[in-house]
Chains A and B, each alone.
Chain A
Amino acid sequence: MTKLSVRSPITLEAATVIRVAGPGRDTPYALVVARTGDGLVLGRLRGDPQALRIGMELDALEPEAGSPTFAPRRA
């Protein structure tokens, strides 16, 4: 099952913006893989994908629609 809460530290392992998806889903949307204290976690991104850099720190946000959600850590 999806891990909805994860342990720190959380860093960005991979990111993509999906521009072609299945029925009923609006595109584009961004997904990230975060390396966490619990291993790799796939989640949604809140924020600007252009601001992402692999290896940067992320914050875990309140899950959205049952999915882990991350955002770039504010300086």
Chain B
Amino acid sequence: MAAGVWIAGTAMTAFGRRPDRDLVALAVEACEAALDDAGIDPADVDALYFGNFLGQTLQGQGVLASMIARRVGVGNVPTTSVEGACASAAIALRHGRLAIAADAAEVALCVGGEHMTSFDTATVTAGLAQATDQTSDGQTGLTFPGFFGLVASAYLARFGVTRDELSSVPVKSRRHAAGNPMVMFDAPVTTGDVVSARPIADPLRLLDCSPISDGAAAAVVVREPRPGAVRVLACEQASGAVAIGDIADLLTFPATTTAATAAYAAAGLAAADVDVVELHDCFSIAELVDAEDLGLLPIGEAAQATAAGATTNGGSAATINPSGGLLARGHPVGATGLAQIHELVQQLRGDAHNQVAGARVGLAHNLGGCGATAMVTILAG
């Protein structure tokens, strides 16, 4: 794609329990803050893309993109809601980028949001399970914690990884999130805290799981560079199996590897060129599989590398999830992909809460379902 595409501004709401705002209000708050960050008037927006997974299920509300557009004041521009489970927001960004590159817009407003905490855990868990194949796996009672519990059991057995090594993921996430007012959990945890937490889906415990959350995030995508803008080098999507019966190996997501291969090629970069990563750690085990799928760490070695501090800010490898990731920031599923982009833009501007020194290339990875879809975005400061 020859045309240059830039992110001129980003924003996110504080993630967590937000009874003070409904879903649309959260999205509007993020949009207004992103436009302000970009220095762009709402009237100059040519298109709006909204990433969301559960709005129709939990809130019973459709046409959310148009509702947000009215409240933001962008006029009668085209509005589109996109759904790719937990990857919905990054897919919204991809559509904004495509609109710019196709000369269909000069300014695209991309936003993602979710409001989950006003519903009980069983209802949200059942809603999230819609991203599994309901004609097969759903019949067995598979949930998302259950799927990643299965992945964790296979990973620990195949690579001889200990429970304490797996715990190093949430311990690092909380360390990275310390003192960040925008995240849901900024208090440190120890390995002992992780292994003694309530069991959710063996071998995963509560602190291995991203929390049910509320929040929104947004990005303003433009064609021309501006002060503070970050260049989009690649924004690639791929799909993969939905049902376990169609998966060849539980310990890799072909959607991720395919999107990553395409993204590295589009950017003209390799994994070793990436300084900072925001990847989809919906569960602690997911961070390990994702890091290996993205080529950031050797297959089967991610747990030991994480436990040794390689992916901690200042470690020997690319820093993974300096924001605290989904485990600490929270995971309002339709918002996560753009919250990752917001963190990377802050990193590449040198303005992040947990700044990675000298960060010049950032990679975001957003996974939907049990690997049904994945987005890999590469940004350069």
Contact = CB atoms under 8 A, between A and B. Distances in A.
A22 to B, nearest CB: 3
A34 B281 CA distance: 25
Given A3-B245, A41-B245, A17 B123 contact: no
A18 B157 contact: no
B151 to A, nearest CB: 7
Chain B, interface SS category: helix
A3 B143 CA distance: 19
Contact of A21 (B125, B151, B157, B245): B125
Given A18-B146, A40-B247, A41-B245, A67 B202 contact: no
B248 interface: yes
A66 to B, nearest CB: 5
Nearest to A30: B202
B150 A15 contact: yes
Which of B151, B198, B202, B245 is the most central at the interface, judged by chain A CB atoms within 10 Å of its CB? B245
A70 to B, nearest CB: 11
A13 B147 CA distance: 13
Nearest to B137: A42
B202 A31 contact: no
Nearest to A53: B157
Contacts of A20: 121-122, 125, 143, 145, 200-201
B140 A42 contact: yes
B155 to A, nearest CB: 9
A15 B158 CA distance: 13
A17 B136 contact: no
B247 to A, nearest CB: 6
Nearest to A66: B139
A42 B142 contact: yes
Given A31-B142, A31-B150, A54-B154, A39 B248 contact: yes
Interface residues of B, number: 37
Contacts, number: 108
A14 interface: yes
Contacts of B135: 1-2
Interface in B225-270: 243-245, 247-248, 250
Contacts of A31: 140-142, 146, 150
A7 interface: no
A65 B139 CA distance: 8
A33 interface: yes
B150 A44 contact: no
A23 to B, nearest CB: 5
The 5 closest A-B pairs by CB, nearest first: A22-B126, A16-B149, A54-B157, A14-B154, A14-B150
28 contacts: A1-B135, A2-B140, A3-B245, A13-B154, A14-B153, A16-B152, A16-B202, A16-B203, A16-B204, A17-B202, A18-B145, A19-B202, A20-B121, A20-B125, A20-B200, A22-B125, A22-B126, A31-B141, A33-B250, A39-B245, A39-B248, A40-B244, A40-B247, A41-B244, A42-B136, A42-B137, A42-B142, A42-B244
